[in-house]
Amino acid sequence: MKVLHEAGVLSQSERFFSTPSAIARRLFFYVTRCGHYYCDEHYDFKDTCDISQLESHKNFFLIYLRAGFMHFIADGDKFTAEQGQLALIDCRRPHRYYTPQGAETIWIHFDGANAADFYEQIIAFHGGRHVFYPPSDSRVERELAQIVSGLKGGASIPEVAYSQRIYQILCNLLFPQHAADAADADSPTAQAMRFIGEHLFEELSVERVAAAVNLSPSHFSRQFRSHTGFSPHEYIVLHRIDEAKALLHGTKLSVKEIAYRVGYHSEVNFIASFTDKVGVSPATFRKTPM
């Protein structure tokens, strides 16, 4: 739909609305409005305008700058997105965005599922910044364009397909190296994960794993978290817990024997760690039907 009456939005711009079903609101990510805008220097969106009061606007806003640049004010900070960058803001909070010279943008308003948790984690991952470059080979721009194109065409695309696109975009923003490295079996992260699996029952420190992939502990930790979402220590602990679950249900080994088999040197520490991560003790987990 052409945009006819929005200050600063040029005539070739398009905007589309989408009303989610009840099941989408409960289970999916969903788009409420999206568009492809060409703006001049008069474009200035403030949260005091009528549009900002609509339900379709009171959610999360992801915008890609195809050309020009745009200023944003959100969470008490001012920041600028330029060509090739993305901006992510929470439109439930005070906000404003404008361009002093003009811009071309592709954008979506979205919500649903655990969108708020994704938003908080993405902003935290980027050091509190709301503007960042999309990860290389992540196809974020293309995914956004396809969402807009799908609503433009009025095609009968299932809501779950839009949800999957949004989820893919959010995952790429949260783990920017994951998409590029997921298929690389020789990447340091993949090597480290194999090393951990092969030496799970031994003494494993971040320093030892980092040395196995020829990286410094600090660089390895940053890279591992960026690729997997886990710190190396957390990954080791969770991997050990998963192995313990298999042993609890697949063998008659005692809890103490299992603790040592999965790399713990203390039954007490194992029970405490297992209970913290799983929510029940190893003994209770063993009694739970699978």
Average pLDDT for 116-138: 85
Q: Is the dihedral of CA 229, 235, 237, 242 positive or negative?
A: positive
3-state secondary structure of 36: strand
pLDDT in tens, 20-53: 989 999 999 999 999 999 999 999 999 988 888 8
pLDDT in tens, 233-285: 988 998 899 889 989 988 899 999 999 999 998 999 999 999 998 889 999 98
Return mean pLDDT, the chain. Answer: 88
The C-alpha torsion from 146 through 147 and 150 to 151, rounded to 10°, is: -150
SS3 string, 203-241, reads CCCHHHHHHHCCCCHHHHHHHHHHHHCCCHHHHHHHHHH
Identify the CA nearest to 73 among candidates 55, 96, 45: 96
- Long-range pairs of 11-17 with CB within 8 A, sequence gap ≥ 24: 12/38, 13/37, 13/38, 13/39, 14/148, 14/152, 16/148, 16/151, 16/152, 17/56, 17/151
Residue 183 pLDDT: 45
pLDDT in tens, 201-217: 888 999 999 999 999 99
pLDDT in tens, 65-123: 999 999 999 988 899 999 999 999 999 999 999 999 999 999 999 999 899 999 999 99
